[in-house]
Amino acid sequence: MKGAFYTGEYRNLFKEFGYDEDAIEKKVEEAYQTIFYGPDEERFYHEVGNDMAYFEDTGNHDARTEGMSYAMMMCVQRDWKKEFDRLWNFSKTYMWMESGYNSGYFAWSVQPDGTKNALGPAPDGEEYFAMALFFASHRWGDGEGIYNYSKEAKAILHECVHKGENGTPGDPMWEPSNKLIKFIPNCDFTDPSYHLPHFYELFAEWADPEDREFWKEAAAASREYLHKACHPVTGLAPEYSHYDGSPYRKDNRERYYSDAYRVPANLGLDYEWFGKDEWQSECADKIQTFFCETVKGKSDLIYEIDGSIIEEKALHPVAIIATNAQASLASKGKYQKECVELFWNTPLRKGDRRYYDNCLYLFALLALSGNYRIWK
């Protein structure tokens, strides 16, 4: 197989396209420093007391499992153990639910002081928490208590698969009948951007032994599902969809909008790590062609997945640029370099809505510089 999981080799597309290695490292380091330790109007990492920290959604002034788990992944990729442990301590202290219908899951949103805004979870947080914890275990070794990273990761995944079995309260995060991740546990539809088959391949290596076959099947199911969810001409995916891939037509969730921007990035990283699905290259090329040809000059708007333009500004235009660039890890089309160059020349976003854009920006920097790695 040709993926980095098998070869241990990670492409540095910036270097392939002529950028200087020192300049690449400087760009990555400056983004980290800005997001974690920059001025108040630019960072969104905040330390609390002696041993905790949260990642703020600056548009909504809360901390979300999405952002907390993203930040932990950023830290383990950069070998920032202190920051990782602070974030995990805050997450386990204030977001994890010990009791109630959703016990064992994490509340998807809390206030900066840790007060829960909701008692429901969002599955993208759980899958990123688990993956970051496994990487931490392999990079730094397991510690005591909540810092026994591999034990914590396995416990999260056990809940995701088995919750609600044998008459116990709660709902699993993956639909048992088709092994597709749900948008939230107590619903019957999904979010295309939650589908991370490259994570599930690794869960199949490291989760509880009795669940490893489930994760292998989940990886295959998610790849097949994305074939159906992404439009055959544009490659665009809706924000939410039914399990058969058809768009979820409620509250405008059938559009290519904020959540959906993560799909091209996920295609790129899955192809980079495992290289199992050539369709991903075709889809990434379609997405890049759509933005570089079809809507060139209008690439910061909202779209139907068939490419129809909705004359409204996208809420996260920098995220579109970043994830289109990350798709270049899969694309073999003529716009691969153009998308990477546009991203290279785009600065981190400023202002209240910077959080989501800059999270995806930093992930794209890691992936395109060969620094978004599997830690075994």
**What's residue 1's pLDDT?**
64
The full DSSP string for 150-167 is HHHHHHHHHHHHHTTGGG
Secondary-structure class of domain 45-229 per CATH: mainly alpha
Residue 255 in tokens? 């559009």
Residue 302 in tokens? 């909202």
pTM of the model: 0.98
**What's residue 313's pLDDT?**
97
Coil, strand or helix: which one is 37?
helix
Q: How far is CA 222 from CA 96, 135, 178, 180, 186, in A?
A: 27, 22, 9, 6, 19
Q: What is the pLDDT of residues 150-204, one digit of tens each?
A: 999 999 999 999 999 999 999 999 999 999 999 999 999 999 999 999 999 999 9
The residues that are catalytic are 66, 259
**What's residue 178's pLDDT?**
98
Proportion of the chain above pLDDT 90, given as a percent = 99
Please, which residues have CB within 8 angstroms of residue 122's CB and are 6 or more apart in sequence? 64, 65, 66, 108, 184
The owner of tokens 């990886």 is 219
Sketch the domain layout of the chain as residue ranges.
11-43+280-370, 45-229
